[in-house]
Structure 1
């Protein structure tokens, strides 16, 4: 498999397990001795105040992702593996342009009950405002992504471990890459 020609995007609403799965996908790449770079895009746009012409910090996030990706590539080709939210095809194209690769989107889902439990475990009582914000938005975003969001693979994370989800994502991604490269020969 040639590194740096494709990437993985772990997509889904709040509380579906994207960050947990991200770590384990990285572990799978390391075990297979495949070069990779992990991105949790929550940390690429979390700043305040936001620019008046960029209220969602979308431009800031894109510029930050591009800068970090360029730094990673100085060490050689690698596969970007990203956890975040892609709501539209336009969002996917923005990430693909920042990284210069085609993204394989794995859409992670979780029931409202499981997502609520995970979110409650993430936020201590001192962060009730953040917890409530995520709880209020989980279901609407989940429904929107299911109907409108891009997904090449859909995985329900309710009754499986992050390690299992990572294995499924890794196997699907690597088999697709092998198939694409076989077709090029």
Structure 2
């Protein structure tokens, strides 16, 4: 009998809370003694200019997964905005045999603006504020999620627990 390896991939627009919720899920899994890894997929492909970002993501994630799997990791918590079906396909190819549940985090636009203002500054803040609505719309149009979770004003621990309950 083979061991089922599960992953939750948190997607959503800018400021939806993907990284924060992923980190909180990691804390919950840590407390329960479950072998897990939290991977912010943006960091595996942040490069430029004019690079094949998704090809690099797939290659880097496959290499990292190989190492985590050898170490006994059986649960993955992933975070990245998915804008096109090909983005999810790249993650699936990098994680063969892993059961991936995609959860889209949402929040009210004013809440997202507050989050962006608290974490970003200068040109990055200006860019994120101007891109916010279109970026969120792209994630919504992609509709790659299995579940949608509101991440507005509830404590992050509650949001993380809800995501975990959906994943099983």
The runs of 5 or more residues in structure 1 that have no matched partner are 175-185
Question: What are the within-5 Å matches in structure 2 for residues 7-26 of structure 1?
Answer: 7-26=7-26
SS at match of 1:47: coil
Could you say which residue in structure 1 is the equivalent of 2:30?
30
Alignment of 1:71 with 2:77, yes or no, is no
Could you say which residue in structure 2 is the equivalent of 1:62?
58
Question: What are the within-5 Å matches in structure 2 for residues 6-155 of structure 1?
Answer: 6-51=6-51, 54=52, 57-100=53-96, 101-124=98-121, 128-155=122-149
Contact 2:55 2:90 in 1 (8 A): no
Q: 1:160 to 1:30 in 2, by over 3 A?
A: same
* In structure 2, distance between residues paired with 1:4 and 1:48: 36
* In structure 2, distance between residues paired with 1:132 and 1:64: 30
Which of 136, 151, 155 is the aligned partner of 1:157? 151
| 1:77 to partner: Cα distance | 4.0
Structural RMSD (CA): 1.7
Q: 1:115 to 1:170 in 2, by over 3 A?
A: same
SS at match of 1:27: helix
* In structure 2, distance between residues paired with 1:47 and 1:140: 22
Across the two proteins, how many residue pairs are aligned to each other?
166
Contact 1:119 1:131 in 2 (8 A): yes
Contact 2:58 2:93 in 1 (8 A): no
Contact 2:11 2:104 in 1 (8 A): yes
SS at match of 2:145: coil
Contact 2:39 2:77 in 1 (8 A): yes
Name the larger-Rg structure. 1
* In structure 1, distance between residues paired with 2:27 and 2:166: 16
Contact 1:16 1:115 in 2 (8 A): yes
SS at match of 1:131: helix
Contact 2:37 2:73 in 1 (8 A): no
